Amino acid sequence: MSNLFKENLVDAEQTVLFGQRLSNACEFATCIYLHGDLGAGKTTLTRGFIQGLGHVGNVKSPTYTLVEPYELATWQVYHFDLYRLSDPEELEFMGIRDYFSETSHCLVEWPEKGVGFLPKPDLDLTLNYVGEKREVLLQANTENGLRVLNKL
């Protein structure tokens, strides 16, 4: 069983669909770090992830709020965007630990900005530009992460 996964995403629609597929493969609370340059598709993929769990409506980038919560039928999803975080210690003040629970999935854009104050991820997800298109790479770091890859 491989701890790596790779797929091409030819347009934004495919990125959304992949996000849906990913959320449906998460049986247990999962923490995912989202890597990739500006505009690579991290928020687009997260939109699919959240909609895949039953959310109807918009999923906006939490660039200024740092985190956007979603209360869904069976899961809470916390979508972080730490791009504007100036000091990782701010995460301590916002009670970062409480977001990571047995009943929540956490997706974190720009996790590099929170080094030292974030839990280790089950999955590292990277979106790379391939011309106009994208590819998604996943690396599982935990038993739970491996299960997710296996169910994709």
Ligand X SMILES: Nc1ncnc2c1ncn2[C@@H]1O[C@H](COP(=O)(O)OP(=O)(O)OP(=O)(O)O)[C@@H](O)[C@H]1O
Angle (CA) 106-107-110 rounded to 5° is 130
For the CB of residue 109, give the shortest distance to ligand X in the complex, in Å: 5
* Residue whose CB is nearest to Mg ion in the complex, by number: 43
Name which position in 42, 105, 113, 134 contacts Mg ion (CB under 5 A).
42
Judge residue 102's burial from the number of C-beta atoms within 10 Å of its C-beta, 0-12 exposed, 13-18 middle, 19 or more buried.
Answer: exposed
Q: By CB under 5 A, tell whether 126 contacts Mg ion.
A: no
Name which position in 71, 98, 102, 132 contacts ligand X (CB under 6 A).
132
Taking CB under 6 A as the rule, which mask of x and - marks residues 53-92 in contact with ligand X?
Answer: --------x-------------------x-----------
Closer CB to ligand X, 83 or 100, in the complex:
83
| Residues near Mg ion, by CB under 5 A | 42-43, 61, 109
| Residues near ligand X, by CB under 6 A | 9, 11-12, 14-15, 36, 38-44, 61, 81, 109, 132-134
